Structure 1
Amino acid sequence: MTNINLSEPLAAAAALLEKYPLLSGLPADVAAHLVRDASALRATAGQVLFGEGDEARHYLLVAAGQAEVMRYSYNGDERVFRVFEPGQLMAEAAMFMPHGRYPMQARARSDVQCWRLCRHRLHEACRRWPDLALRLLAGLSKAVYDQVNQVDWITSSSAAERLANYLMGLHERQGAALTLPLNQRQLAAHLGIRAETLSRLLNDWQSQGYISGKRCQWVVHDPAHLAGLSVTARRPF
Protein backbone atom coordinates (compact mmCIF):
# COMPACT_ATOMS: atom_id res chain seq x y z
CA MET A 1 0.00 0.00 0.00
CA THR A 2 1.25 3.45 -0.92
CA ASN A 3 0.41 6.35 1.36
CA ILE A 4 -0.44 9.52 -0.55
CA ASN A 5 -0.15 12.79 1.32
CA LEU A 6 -3.06 15.04 0.43
CA SER A 7 -3.91 18.58 1.44
CA GLU A 8 -6.90 18.99 3.73
CA PRO A 9 -9.32 19.99 0.90
CA LEU A 10 -8.21 17.08 -1.30
CA ALA A 11 -8.48 14.70 1.65
CA ALA A 12 -12.11 15.84 2.02
CA ALA A 13 -12.67 15.19 -1.70
CA ALA A 14 -11.15 11.71 -1.34
CA ALA A 15 -13.41 10.98 1.63
CA LEU A 16 -16.46 11.99 -0.43
CA LEU A 17 -15.32 9.90 -3.37
CA GLU A 18 -14.80 6.82 -1.17
CA LYS A 19 -18.56 6.81 -0.48
CA TYR A 20 -19.33 6.46 -4.19
CA PRO A 21 -20.54 2.88 -4.94
CA LEU A 22 -17.92 2.52 -7.68
CA LEU A 23 -15.15 2.53 -5.05
CA SER A 24 -16.91 0.45 -2.41
CA GLY A 25 -14.53 -2.18 -1.02
CA LEU A 26 -11.52 -0.90 -2.96
CA PRO A 27 -8.37 0.31 -1.15
CA ALA A 28 -8.44 3.86 0.16
CA ASP A 29 -5.44 4.55 -2.07
CA VAL A 30 -7.75 4.46 -5.11
CA ALA A 31 -9.70 7.56 -4.06
CA ALA A 32 -6.52 9.30 -2.96
CA HIS A 33 -4.95 8.62 -6.35
CA LEU A 34 -8.01 9.86 -8.26
CA VAL A 35 -8.13 13.21 -6.47
CA ARG A 36 -4.47 14.02 -7.01
CA ASP A 37 -4.20 17.16 -9.16
CA ALA A 38 -7.93 17.81 -8.59
CA SER A 39 -9.14 21.40 -8.55
CA ALA A 40 -12.23 23.04 -7.05
CA LEU A 41 -14.97 24.36 -9.32
CA ARG A 42 -17.76 26.63 -8.13
CA ALA A 43 -20.59 27.85 -10.33
CA THR A 44 -23.87 29.70 -9.96
CA ALA A 45 -27.21 28.41 -11.24
CA GLY A 46 -27.29 28.37 -15.04
CA GLN A 47 -23.53 28.57 -15.52
CA VAL A 48 -22.00 26.13 -18.01
CA LEU A 49 -19.51 23.69 -16.45
CA PHE A 50 -18.31 22.32 -19.78
CA GLY A 51 -19.63 22.57 -23.31
CA GLU A 52 -20.66 19.94 -25.82
CA GLY A 53 -17.62 19.29 -28.01
CA ASP A 54 -15.09 20.68 -25.51
CA GLU A 55 -11.96 18.62 -24.94
CA ALA A 56 -12.73 16.12 -22.18
CA ARG A 57 -9.80 16.45 -19.80
CA HIS A 58 -11.74 16.27 -16.52
CA TYR A 59 -14.73 14.58 -14.97
CA LEU A 60 -16.59 16.08 -12.01
CA LEU A 61 -17.38 15.00 -8.47
CA VAL A 62 -20.37 16.98 -7.19
CA ALA A 63 -19.76 18.17 -3.62
CA ALA A 64 -22.78 20.46 -3.09
CA GLY A 65 -25.76 21.63 -5.12
CA GLN A 66 -27.06 20.12 -8.36
CA ALA A 67 -25.75 19.92 -11.91
CA GLU A 68 -27.29 18.57 -15.10
CA VAL A 69 -26.19 17.29 -18.49
CA MET A 70 -28.25 18.42 -21.46
CA ARG A 71 -28.41 19.08 -25.17
CA TYR A 72 -30.38 21.44 -27.38
CA SER A 73 -32.57 19.84 -30.02
CA TYR A 74 -32.68 21.13 -33.59
CA ASN A 75 -35.77 23.19 -32.77
CA GLY A 76 -34.06 24.75 -29.75
CA ASP A 77 -35.74 22.72 -27.00
CA GLU A 78 -33.62 21.68 -24.05
CA ARG A 79 -33.32 17.98 -23.35
CA VAL A 80 -31.98 17.26 -19.87
CA PHE A 81 -30.63 13.72 -19.69
CA ARG A 82 -29.73 13.53 -16.01
CA VAL A 83 -29.52 15.60 -12.83
CA PHE A 84 -26.55 14.97 -10.53
CA GLU A 85 -26.62 15.26 -6.74
CA PRO A 86 -23.80 15.63 -4.17
CA GLY A 87 -21.50 12.61 -4.07
CA GLN A 88 -22.11 11.63 -7.70
CA LEU A 89 -19.65 11.58 -10.59
CA MET A 90 -20.30 13.36 -13.89
CA ALA A 91 -18.79 12.63 -17.30
CA GLU A 92 -16.57 9.70 -16.29
CA ALA A 93 -17.68 7.91 -19.47
CA ALA A 94 -16.34 10.81 -21.56
CA MET A 95 -12.86 10.08 -20.19
CA PHE A 96 -12.74 6.95 -22.38
CA MET A 97 -14.33 8.22 -25.59
CA PRO A 98 -11.96 7.92 -28.58
CA HIS A 99 -12.74 11.42 -29.86
CA GLY A 100 -11.80 12.86 -26.45
CA ARG A 101 -14.66 15.36 -26.31
CA TYR A 102 -17.71 15.86 -24.12
CA PRO A 103 -20.84 14.54 -25.89
CA MET A 104 -23.15 16.86 -23.92
CA GLN A 105 -23.16 20.16 -22.11
CA ALA A 106 -23.03 20.30 -18.30
CA ARG A 107 -24.71 23.14 -16.47
CA ALA A 108 -25.19 24.15 -12.85
CA ARG A 109 -28.82 23.55 -11.95
CA SER A 110 -28.35 25.40 -8.66
CA ASP A 111 -25.31 26.99 -7.09
CA VAL A 112 -22.92 24.07 -7.20
CA GLN A 113 -19.50 23.05 -5.90
CA CYS A 114 -17.56 20.34 -7.72
CA TRP A 115 -14.14 18.79 -7.87
CA ARG A 116 -12.53 18.54 -11.30
CA LEU A 117 -10.79 15.16 -11.44
CA CYS A 118 -8.14 14.46 -14.07
CA ARG A 119 -8.65 12.00 -16.91
CA HIS A 120 -5.06 10.72 -16.83
CA ARG A 121 -5.37 9.85 -13.12
CA LEU A 122 -8.45 7.77 -13.88
CA HIS A 123 -6.61 5.94 -16.67
CA GLU A 124 -3.67 5.28 -14.38
CA ALA A 125 -5.98 3.97 -11.65
CA CYS A 126 -7.68 1.57 -14.06
CA ARG A 127 -4.30 0.12 -15.04
CA ARG A 128 -3.20 -0.16 -11.42
CA TRP A 129 -6.46 -1.48 -9.95
CA PRO A 130 -8.19 -3.78 -12.47
CA ASP A 131 -11.25 -4.12 -10.21
CA LEU A 132 -11.90 -0.41 -10.72
CA ALA A 133 -11.72 -0.85 -14.50
CA LEU A 134 -14.14 -3.80 -14.35
CA ARG A 135 -16.61 -1.81 -12.25
CA LEU A 136 -16.44 1.12 -14.65
CA LEU A 137 -17.04 -1.26 -17.55
CA ALA A 138 -20.01 -2.81 -15.76
CA GLY A 139 -21.48 0.64 -15.07
CA LEU A 140 -21.03 1.79 -18.66
CA SER A 141 -22.52 -1.46 -19.96
CA LYS A 142 -25.58 -0.96 -17.77
CA ALA A 143 -25.91 2.61 -19.05
CA VAL A 144 -25.91 1.33 -22.65
CA TYR A 145 -28.49 -1.33 -21.75
CA ASP A 146 -30.71 1.25 -20.05
CA GLN A 147 -30.52 3.53 -23.09
CA VAL A 148 -31.44 0.69 -25.46
CA ASN A 149 -34.46 -0.07 -23.28
CA GLN A 150 -35.33 3.64 -23.16
CA VAL A 151 -35.24 3.99 -26.95
CA ASP A 152 -37.36 0.84 -27.35
CA TRP A 153 -39.83 2.11 -24.74
CA ILE A 154 -40.15 5.55 -26.31
CA THR A 155 -40.75 4.15 -29.80
CA SER A 156 -43.35 1.59 -28.66
CA SER A 157 -45.24 3.36 -25.86
CA SER A 158 -47.91 6.04 -25.67
CA ALA A 159 -47.39 9.47 -24.13
CA ALA A 160 -49.52 8.46 -21.14
CA GLU A 161 -47.45 5.32 -20.54
CA ARG A 162 -44.20 7.29 -20.67
CA LEU A 163 -45.41 9.93 -18.25
CA ALA A 164 -46.82 7.31 -15.86
CA ASN A 165 -43.54 5.40 -15.89
CA TYR A 166 -41.58 8.59 -15.20
CA LEU A 167 -43.83 9.59 -12.29
CA MET A 168 -43.71 6.09 -10.80
CA GLY A 169 -39.91 6.18 -10.93
CA LEU A 170 -40.01 9.39 -8.88
CA HIS A 171 -42.65 7.87 -6.60
CA GLU A 172 -40.29 5.00 -5.73
CA ARG A 173 -37.58 7.44 -4.69
CA GLN A 174 -39.59 10.33 -3.22
CA GLY A 175 -42.88 8.88 -2.02
CA ALA A 176 -46.33 10.28 -2.79
CA ALA A 177 -45.22 13.95 -2.82
CA LEU A 178 -43.13 14.50 -5.94
CA THR A 179 -40.75 17.27 -6.91
CA LEU A 180 -40.08 17.12 -10.63
CA PRO A 181 -36.36 17.69 -11.32
CA LEU A 182 -37.26 19.13 -14.75
CA ASN A 183 -39.60 21.90 -15.76
CA GLN A 184 -42.53 20.82 -17.92
CA ARG A 185 -40.97 21.84 -21.21
CA GLN A 186 -37.78 19.91 -20.38
CA LEU A 187 -39.84 16.93 -19.20
CA ALA A 188 -41.79 16.85 -22.45
CA ALA A 189 -38.54 16.79 -24.43
CA HIS A 190 -37.16 14.08 -22.14
CA LEU A 191 -40.24 11.91 -22.73
CA GLY A 192 -40.32 12.60 -26.47
CA ILE A 193 -43.77 14.18 -26.42
CA ARG A 194 -45.14 17.65 -27.14
CA ALA A 195 -45.40 20.12 -24.28
CA GLU A 196 -49.09 20.54 -25.05
CA THR A 197 -49.63 16.79 -24.73
CA LEU A 198 -47.87 16.71 -21.36
CA SER A 199 -49.98 19.61 -20.07
CA ARG A 200 -53.18 17.92 -21.24
CA LEU A 201 -52.25 14.63 -19.55
CA LEU A 202 -51.45 16.31 -16.26
CA ASN A 203 -54.71 18.26 -16.36
CA ASP A 204 -56.74 15.16 -17.26
CA TRP A 205 -55.16 13.06 -14.50
CA GLN A 206 -55.70 15.85 -12.01
CA SER A 207 -59.38 16.15 -12.91
CA GLN A 208 -59.76 12.38 -12.49
CA GLY A 209 -58.10 12.47 -9.07
CA TYR A 210 -55.03 10.42 -9.93
CA ILE A 211 -52.66 13.29 -9.08
CA SER A 212 -52.81 16.88 -7.87
CA GLY A 213 -50.45 19.83 -7.98
CA LYS A 214 -48.90 22.30 -10.38
CA ARG A 215 -45.59 23.16 -12.01
CA CYS A 216 -42.90 20.99 -10.37
CA GLN A 217 -44.83 19.97 -7.22
CA TRP A 218 -47.25 17.03 -7.48
CA VAL A 219 -48.89 14.45 -5.23
CA VAL A 220 -49.76 10.94 -6.44
CA HIS A 221 -53.18 9.87 -5.13
CA ASP A 222 -53.66 6.71 -7.22
CA PRO A 223 -50.29 4.97 -7.70
CA ALA A 224 -52.04 1.76 -8.75
CA HIS A 225 -53.48 3.46 -11.84
CA LEU A 226 -50.12 4.92 -12.85
CA ALA A 227 -48.35 1.63 -12.14
CA GLY A 228 -50.83 -0.13 -14.42
CA LEU A 229 -49.99 2.25 -17.25
CA SER A 230 -46.24 1.86 -16.77
CA VAL A 231 -46.10 -1.93 -16.28
CA THR A 232 -44.89 -2.62 -19.84
CA ALA A 233 -41.74 -0.57 -19.14
CA ARG A 234 -40.66 -3.06 -16.45
CA ARG A 235 -38.19 -5.63 -17.72
CA PRO A 236 -37.36 -8.94 -15.99
CA PHE A 237 -33.63 -8.10 -15.73
Structure 2
Amino acid sequence: MTANLPLNRAWLANLPPFANTSREEQDDILREASVLRLHGGATVFEQGTPADAFYLLVHGRLKATQLTGDGQRVLVRVVNPGDLFGFVRALGRRDYPATASVTLDSLALAWPTRQWEPLLARHPGFALNTVQAIGERLQEAHVRFCELATEEVERRVAHTVLRLIQHTGFPEADGIRIDFPVTRQDIAEMTGTTLHTVSRILSAWEDRGLVRGGRQKLLVRNPQRLMQIAGGDEREIAHEGA
Protein backbone atom coordinates (compact mmCIF):
# COMPACT_ATOMS: atom_id res chain seq x y z
CA MET A 1 0.00 0.00 0.00
CA THR A 2 1.45 3.39 -0.99
CA ALA A 3 1.17 6.20 1.52
CA ASN A 4 2.02 9.90 1.48
CA LEU A 5 3.91 9.99 4.73
CA PRO A 6 6.59 12.48 5.85
CA LEU A 7 10.04 11.06 6.48
CA ASN A 8 12.23 12.23 9.33
CA ARG A 9 15.41 13.09 7.44
CA ALA A 10 17.67 13.09 10.50
CA TRP A 11 16.46 9.60 11.38
CA LEU A 12 16.65 8.45 7.77
CA ALA A 13 20.29 9.56 7.62
CA ASN A 14 21.07 7.09 10.42
CA LEU A 15 20.02 4.14 8.26
CA PRO A 16 23.07 2.45 6.68
CA PRO A 17 22.28 3.15 2.99
CA PHE A 18 21.96 6.88 3.73
CA ALA A 19 24.98 7.26 6.02
CA ASN A 20 27.06 10.34 5.16
CA THR A 21 24.73 11.49 2.39
CA SER A 22 23.83 15.16 1.97
CA ARG A 23 20.32 16.57 1.91
CA GLU A 24 20.65 17.06 -1.85
CA GLU A 25 21.73 13.44 -2.34
CA GLN A 26 18.83 12.22 -0.19
CA ASP A 27 16.43 14.29 -2.28
CA ASP A 28 17.72 12.68 -5.47
CA ILE A 29 17.73 9.15 -4.03
CA LEU A 30 14.18 9.58 -2.73
CA ARG A 31 12.82 11.25 -5.87
CA GLU A 32 11.55 8.01 -7.42
CA ALA A 33 10.85 6.21 -4.15
CA SER A 34 7.40 5.28 -2.94
CA VAL A 35 6.60 5.13 0.76
CA LEU A 36 4.80 1.93 1.71
CA ARG A 37 2.80 1.29 4.85
CA LEU A 38 2.85 -2.50 5.34
CA HIS A 39 0.47 -4.26 7.70
CA GLY A 40 1.36 -7.36 9.69
CA GLY A 41 0.65 -10.55 7.77
CA ALA A 42 0.88 -8.91 4.35
CA THR A 43 3.17 -10.16 1.58
CA VAL A 44 5.47 -7.64 -0.09
CA PHE A 45 6.47 -9.99 -2.92
CA GLU A 46 6.45 -13.72 -3.61
CA GLN A 47 9.21 -16.08 -4.64
CA GLY A 48 9.45 -16.48 -8.40
CA THR A 49 7.50 -13.34 -9.32
CA PRO A 50 9.10 -10.68 -11.56
CA ALA A 51 11.20 -8.26 -9.54
CA ASP A 52 9.78 -4.86 -10.41
CA ALA A 53 11.03 -3.04 -7.29
CA PHE A 54 13.67 -3.07 -4.57
CA TYR A 55 13.09 -1.88 -1.03
CA LEU A 56 14.53 -0.37 2.13
CA LEU A 57 12.86 -1.20 5.44
CA VAL A 58 12.53 1.99 7.47
CA HIS A 59 10.55 0.67 10.41
CA GLY A 60 9.14 -2.67 11.54
CA ARG A 61 10.17 -6.27 10.77
CA LEU A 62 9.85 -8.62 7.80
CA LYS A 63 10.97 -12.16 7.14
CA ALA A 64 12.19 -13.69 3.90
CA THR A 65 11.30 -17.35 3.32
CA GLN A 66 12.27 -19.64 0.49
CA LEU A 67 10.57 -22.80 -0.71
CA THR A 68 13.10 -25.43 -1.76
CA GLY A 69 12.70 -27.84 -4.66
CA ASP A 70 11.52 -30.60 -2.33
CA GLY A 71 8.87 -28.36 -0.76
CA GLN A 72 10.72 -27.45 2.43
CA ARG A 73 10.26 -23.90 3.68
CA VAL A 74 13.39 -22.14 4.89
CA LEU A 75 13.47 -18.83 6.76
CA VAL A 76 16.34 -17.19 4.91
CA ARG A 77 16.63 -14.00 6.95
CA VAL A 78 14.90 -11.50 9.15
CA VAL A 79 14.71 -8.04 7.57
CA ASN A 80 15.49 -5.30 10.09
CA PRO A 81 15.16 -1.49 9.87
CA GLY A 82 17.89 -0.15 7.60
CA ASP A 83 18.07 -3.34 5.50
CA LEU A 84 17.73 -3.29 1.73
CA PHE A 85 15.80 -6.22 0.32
CA GLY A 86 14.53 -7.39 -3.05
CA PHE A 87 17.62 -6.02 -4.86
CA VAL A 88 17.76 -8.83 -7.42
CA ARG A 89 19.78 -6.80 -9.96
CA ALA A 90 22.79 -7.16 -7.64
CA LEU A 91 22.33 -10.94 -7.83
CA GLY A 92 21.93 -11.07 -11.61
CA ARG A 93 18.30 -12.18 -11.35
CA ARG A 94 15.01 -10.99 -12.78
CA ASP A 95 12.71 -12.67 -10.24
CA TYR A 96 12.54 -12.66 -6.46
CA PRO A 97 14.39 -15.65 -4.94
CA ALA A 98 12.28 -15.59 -1.76
CA THR A 99 8.96 -14.41 -0.35
CA ALA A 100 8.99 -11.31 1.86
CA SER A 101 6.20 -11.20 4.44
CA VAL A 102 5.45 -8.60 7.09
CA THR A 103 5.90 -9.71 10.70
CA LEU A 104 5.08 -6.37 12.34
CA ASP A 105 3.37 -3.29 10.93
CA SER A 106 6.16 -1.69 8.92
CA LEU A 107 7.20 1.26 6.80
CA ALA A 108 9.36 0.79 3.70
CA LEU A 109 10.70 2.68 0.73
CA ALA A 110 10.37 1.13 -2.73
CA TRP A 111 12.20 2.02 -5.94
CA PRO A 112 11.57 0.67 -9.45
CA THR A 113 14.17 -2.00 -10.20
CA ARG A 114 15.28 -0.02 -13.25
CA GLN A 115 16.64 2.64 -10.86
CA TRP A 116 19.16 0.28 -9.21
CA GLU A 117 22.12 0.97 -11.53
CA PRO A 118 21.44 4.71 -12.02
CA LEU A 119 21.26 5.33 -8.27
CA LEU A 120 24.51 3.50 -7.63
CA ALA A 121 26.19 5.34 -10.50
CA ARG A 122 25.07 8.81 -9.34
CA HIS A 123 25.77 8.33 -5.65
CA PRO A 124 29.10 6.65 -4.78
CA GLY A 125 28.43 6.96 -1.05
CA PHE A 126 25.07 5.23 -1.38
CA ALA A 127 26.74 2.59 -3.59
CA LEU A 128 29.53 1.97 -1.05
CA ASN A 129 27.06 1.67 1.84
CA THR A 130 24.99 -0.75 -0.23
CA VAL A 131 27.97 -2.91 -1.18
CA GLN A 132 29.05 -3.08 2.45
CA ALA A 133 25.55 -4.12 3.52
CA ILE A 134 25.45 -6.83 0.84
CA GLY A 135 28.90 -8.03 1.93
CA GLU A 136 27.75 -8.34 5.54
CA ARG A 137 24.73 -10.32 4.42
CA LEU A 138 26.88 -12.68 2.35
CA GLN A 139 29.21 -13.15 5.32
CA GLU A 140 26.26 -14.03 7.55
CA ALA A 141 24.99 -16.49 4.92
CA HIS A 142 28.45 -18.09 4.79
CA VAL A 143 28.52 -18.45 8.58
CA ARG A 144 25.06 -20.04 8.58
CA PHE A 145 26.09 -22.44 5.83
CA CYS A 146 29.14 -23.52 7.82
CA GLU A 147 26.98 -24.03 10.90
CA LEU A 148 24.54 -26.20 8.97
CA ALA A 149 27.39 -28.25 7.53
CA THR A 150 29.46 -28.77 10.67
CA GLU A 151 27.56 -28.12 13.89
CA GLU A 152 25.16 -30.16 15.98
CA VAL A 153 21.63 -28.85 16.13
CA GLU A 154 21.73 -27.39 19.66
CA ARG A 155 24.71 -25.23 18.76
CA ARG A 156 22.91 -24.05 15.61
CA VAL A 157 19.85 -23.07 17.61
CA ALA A 158 22.04 -21.19 20.10
CA HIS A 159 23.81 -19.31 17.29
CA THR A 160 20.46 -18.40 15.72
CA VAL A 161 18.94 -17.10 18.96
CA LEU A 162 22.10 -15.08 19.68
CA ARG A 163 21.95 -13.52 16.21
CA LEU A 164 18.31 -12.62 16.76
CA ILE A 165 19.03 -10.81 20.01
CA GLN A 166 22.04 -9.10 18.44
CA HIS A 167 19.94 -7.62 15.64
CA THR A 168 16.53 -7.31 17.29
CA GLY A 169 17.12 -7.63 21.04
CA PHE A 170 15.39 -5.30 23.50
CA PRO A 171 16.86 -5.24 27.05
CA GLU A 172 14.44 -5.92 29.89
CA ALA A 173 14.89 -6.43 33.62
CA ASP A 174 14.98 -10.23 33.27
CA GLY A 175 17.07 -10.47 30.10
CA ILE A 176 16.93 -9.60 26.39
CA ARG A 177 13.68 -9.99 24.49
CA ILE A 178 13.55 -10.71 20.76
CA ASP A 179 11.62 -7.66 19.65
CA PHE A 180 9.30 -9.23 17.08
CA PRO A 181 6.99 -12.26 16.94
CA VAL A 182 9.15 -15.37 16.49
CA THR A 183 7.84 -18.93 16.58
CA ARG A 184 9.59 -22.21 17.20
CA GLN A 185 8.79 -23.07 13.60
CA ASP A 186 10.66 -19.93 12.51
CA ILE A 187 13.73 -21.05 14.45
CA ALA A 188 13.44 -24.56 13.01
CA GLU A 189 13.39 -23.11 9.50
CA MET A 190 16.41 -20.92 10.25
CA THR A 191 18.44 -23.83 11.61
CA GLY A 192 17.52 -26.54 9.14
CA THR A 193 15.92 -28.83 11.68
CA THR A 194 12.46 -29.91 12.84
CA LEU A 195 9.88 -28.15 15.00
CA HIS A 196 9.98 -31.13 17.38
CA THR A 197 13.74 -30.78 17.91
CA VAL A 198 13.62 -27.01 18.42
CA SER A 199 10.70 -27.37 20.86
CA ARG A 200 12.62 -29.94 22.87
CA ILE A 201 15.76 -27.81 23.02
CA LEU A 202 13.91 -24.61 23.99
CA SER A 203 11.86 -26.48 26.63
CA ALA A 204 15.08 -27.82 28.15
CA TRP A 205 16.59 -24.33 28.11
CA GLU A 206 13.49 -22.99 29.84
CA ASP A 207 13.83 -25.63 32.56
CA ARG A 208 17.42 -24.47 33.11
CA GLY A 209 16.45 -20.78 33.24
CA LEU A 210 18.26 -19.83 30.03
CA VAL A 211 15.20 -18.58 28.14
CA ARG A 212 11.54 -17.89 28.74
CA GLY A 213 9.07 -18.53 25.94
CA GLY A 214 5.53 -17.53 25.17
CA ARG A 215 3.20 -17.22 22.22
CA GLN A 216 5.56 -16.00 19.47
CA LYS A 217 7.81 -14.50 22.14
CA LEU A 218 11.25 -15.37 23.43
CA LEU A 219 13.17 -13.80 26.30
CA VAL A 220 16.85 -14.75 26.61
CA ARG A 221 17.65 -14.73 30.32
CA ASN A 222 21.24 -15.96 30.17
CA PRO A 223 23.04 -14.97 26.94
CA GLN A 224 26.41 -16.01 28.39
CA ARG A 225 25.31 -19.64 28.76
CA LEU A 226 23.92 -19.61 25.23
CA MET A 227 27.30 -18.35 24.02
CA GLN A 228 28.92 -21.31 25.78
CA ILE A 229 26.51 -23.71 24.08
CA ALA A 230 27.10 -22.05 20.70
CA GLY A 231 30.83 -22.44 21.25
CA GLY A 232 30.49 -26.16 21.96
CA ASP A 233 31.42 -25.93 25.65
CA GLU A 234 28.66 -28.24 26.82
CA ARG A 235 26.65 -31.22 25.61
CA GLU A 236 23.92 -31.45 28.19
CA ILE A 237 20.82 -31.87 26.09
CA ALA A 238 20.19 -35.10 24.20
CA HIS A 239 18.53 -34.33 20.91
CA GLU A 240 17.86 -35.69 17.50
CA GLY A 241 20.16 -34.79 14.65
CA ALA A 242 19.09 -32.26 12.09
- Please state which band the TM-score falls in when normalised by the shorter chain: 0.7 to 0.9
CA contact (8 A) 2:61 2:81 kept: yes
Distance 1:101 1:218, change over 3 A: closer
Tell me which of 159, 181, 197 is aligned to 1:165. 159
Report the Cα distance in structure 2 between the residues aligned to 1:13 and 1:155, rounded to whole angstroms.
Answer: 43
1:98 aligns with 2:92: yes
How many Å apart are 1:87 and its aligned residue?
A: 4.5
Alpha-carbon RMSD: 2.7
How many Å apart are 1:19 and its aligned residue?
A: 2.6
1:213 aligns with 2:213: yes
How many Å apart are 1:198 and its aligned residue?
A: 0.7
How many Å apart are 1:68 and its aligned residue?
A: 2.1
Tell me which of 41, 44, 49 is aligned to 1:46. 41
Residue in 1 that maps onto 2:194: 194
Tell me which of 13, 31, 44 is aligned to 1:36. 31
Aligned residues: 223
TM-score by length of 1: 0.79
Distance 1:86 1:151, change over 3 A: closer
Any gaps of 5 or more consecutive residues in structure 2? 233-242
CA contact (8 A) 2:159 2:230 kept: yes
Residue in 1 that maps onto 2:149: 155
**1:40-189 correspondence to structure 2 within 5 Å:** 40-74=35-69, 76-92=71-87, 94-172=88-166, 173-175=169-171, 176-179=175-178, 181-189=181-189
Report the Cα distance in structure 1 between the residues aligned to 2:129 and 2:58, rounded to whole angstroms.
Answer: 22
**Partner SS for 2:231:** helix
Report the Cα distance in structure 1 between the residues aligned to 2:26 and 2:11, rounded to whole angstroms.
Answer: 9
**Structure 1 residues 197-206 or 107-116, which shifts more?**
107-116
How many Å apart are 1:184 and its aligned residue?
A: 0.9
**Structure 1 residues 213-222 or 148-157, which shifts more?**
213-222
How many Å apart are 1:228 and its aligned residue?
A: 0.9
Report the Cα distance in structure 1 between the residues aligned to 2:58 and 2:143, rounded to whole angstroms.
Answer: 31
**Deviations 1:6-56, CA, capped at 9 Å, x for gaps:** xxx586276654331222112222221222122233343322211212222
Q: Which amino acid aligns with 2:103?
A: R
CA contact (8 A) 2:17 2:82 kept: no
Q: Which amino acid aligns with 1:118?
A: P
How many Å apart are 1:63 and its aligned residue?
A: 4.1
Residue in 2 that maps onto 1:228: 228
Q: Which amino acid aligns with 1:143?
A: R
How many Å apart are 1:181 and its aligned residue?
A: 4.1
Report the Cα distance in structure 2 between the residues aligned to 1:32 and 1:60, rounded to whole angstroms.
Answer: 17
**Deviations 1:88-119, CA, capped at 9 Å, x for gaps:** 43223x23232322211112223333332233
Report the Cα distance in structure 2 between the residues aligned to 1:122 and 1:227, rounded to whole angstroms.
Answer: 39
Report the Cα distance in structure 1 between the residues aligned to 2:51 and 2:8, rounded to whole angstroms.
Answer: 20
Any gaps of 5 or more consecutive residues in structure 1? 1-8, 233-237
TM-score by length of 2: 0.77
1:25 aligns with 2:20: yes
**Partner SS for 1:101:** coil
Residue in 2 that maps onto 1:3: none
Report the Cα distance in structure 1 between the residues aligned to 2:162 and 2:150, rounded to whole angstroms.
Answer: 18
Report the Cα distance in structure 2 between the residues aligned to 1:36 and 1:103, rounded to whole angstroms.
Answer: 27
CA contact (8 A) 2:103 2:181 kept: no
CA contact (8 A) 2:74 2:192 kept: no
**Partner SS for 1:135:** helix
CA contact (8 A) 1:181 1:216 kept: yes
Distance 1:78 1:45, change over 3 A: farther
Q: Which amino acid aligns with 1:206?
A: E
